Amino acid sequence: MPPPLADTFGRLHDNLRISVTDRCNIRCFYCMPESGVTFMDRREILSFEEIERFVRVAVGLGITKLRVTGGEPLVRRDLPRLIEKLHNIQGVQDLALTTNAVLLEGLAEPLYRAGLRRVNIHLDTLDRDRFKQITRRDDLHLVLRGIDRCLELGYRPVKLNAVAVHGLSEPDIVPLARFGRERGIEVRYIEFMPLDAQQLWDRSRVLTMEQILATLSHEIAPLEPVPDPDPRAPATEFRFRDGLGGVGFIPSVTKPFCLNCNRIRLTADGKLRYCLFALDEYDVKHLLRGGASDESIADLIRGTVRAKWLGHEINSVRFVPPPRPMYAIGG
């Protein structure tokens, strides 16, 4: 057995998020500007073969969980081919995808055939006008069809990610939870984080876990914490006391899960990061394209984990936003 991928605080790392592109087919206002985005040069983007090689080395060091993300991963041509490669790597126990689902109706089946079983679908509202306002696209119907297709094909679990912004998302909180309860889908509310390209974030725009919990308990049914939660899962989970489903939260601002963080992230242009908010990153592409040995890649992974800080400092005056926006890191 290889030595565990532990950082200097004793946290074990078994989870790798892989961004396959920084491009996207919609423009969520808290992530991307409406126009004028400069995307990575395609030659800078890792090939599927380069990603596969990196993942094999990482799995050899103890990574067992993979999540493919972006930008919007489904705009990357031939994504099922990468999914198949990752699914076939011995030692990968969990493979998931985070997507806005605009292209999912047609891709759900090839992805399922390639070995994917878990999807997190980003959906902030069931209201067509607000969807347009948030994403600057009129694609809600496509997202809903993508969700239905995944349920039909047997993807489990299907989860929804909803970014909650104070002063905007309040009317969506209850309809989304009801939608999830009716379909056996867990909705996870994500506190708005300072990762937007235009620096629109302000603490007063965070709709907090506590506020959402109060609304749901009042409007639907009382909620209680799920007993014996997995301490390494980023979501804080609750179930409705009436027995019908539950909701989760990613309270990155009011209750960061840094102390249990088990993740590293590979950007589409081949940089390894120990945190979404990290200011430093480590150049994997240079090794992959420069004829480096697997051992050198393994050293870089170990070094990245060893360099990891205790946690981000969103709640401190010392906080400095990362040099890349969310879509260029891989959310």
Interface with ligand SF4 (CB under 6 A): 24, 26-28, 31-32, 70-72, 100, 122, 327
Beta carbons within 10 angstroms of residue 220's beta carbon: 18
Minimum Å distance from CB 225 to ligand SAM? 22
| Number of shown-chain residues binding ligand SAM (CB under 6 A) | 20
Q: What is the DSSP letter of 74?
A: G
CA gap 153, 323 in Å, rounded: 39
195 binds, among ligand SAM, ligand SF4, none (CB under 5 to 8 A by kind): ligand SAM
Q: Site mask, ligand SAM, residues 238-277, x = CB under 6 A?
A: ----------------------------------------
The sheet that has 94-99: what strands, in order across it? Answer: 223-225, 236-240, 246-250, 186-191, 158-164, 118-122, 94-99, 65-69, 15-19, 263-266, 271-273, 282-283
Which H/E stretch holds residue 215?
Answer: helix 209-219
Does 322 bind ligand SAM (CB under 6 A)? Our answer is no
CB 29 within 8 A of CB 134: yes
> What does the angle CA 72 – CA 28 – CA 312 come to, to the nearest 5 degrees?
80
Q: Residue 137, exposed/middle/buried by CB under 10 A (0-12, 13-18, 19+)?
A: middle
Minimum Å distance from CB 326 to ligand SAM? 4
Could you tell me the CA-to-CA distances from 75 to 23, 25, 115, 151, 305 in Å, in that order?
A: 7, 7, 19, 21, 30
Minimum Å distance from CB 221 to ligand SAM? 25
32 binds, among ligand SAM, ligand SF4, none (CB under 5 to 8 A by kind): ligand SF4
List the beta bridge partners of residue 96: 67, 118
Instruction: Pick the piece of the chain touching ligand SAM (CB under 6 A) from 23-31, 269-277, 282-290, 293-301.
Output: 23-31
Near ligand SAM in 51-110, by CB under 6 A: 69-70, 72, 98-100
Q: Which is nearer to ligand SAM, 61 or 276 (CB)?
A: 276
Helix or strand or coil: residue 220? coil
Does 155 bind ligand SAM (CB under 6 A)? Our answer is no
Minimum Å distance from CB 52 to ligand SF4? 23
- Name the token pair of 240: 């409705």
146 binds, among ligand SAM, ligand SF4, none (CB under 5 to 8 A by kind): none
Q: Site mask, ligand SAM, residues 169-208, x = CB under 6 A?
A: ---------------------x-xx-xx------------
In the numeric block, the tokens 């749901």 are attached to: 216
Residues that bind ligand SAM (CB under 6 A): 24, 30-31, 69-70, 72, 98-100, 122, 161, 163, 190, 192-193, 195-196, 326-327, 331
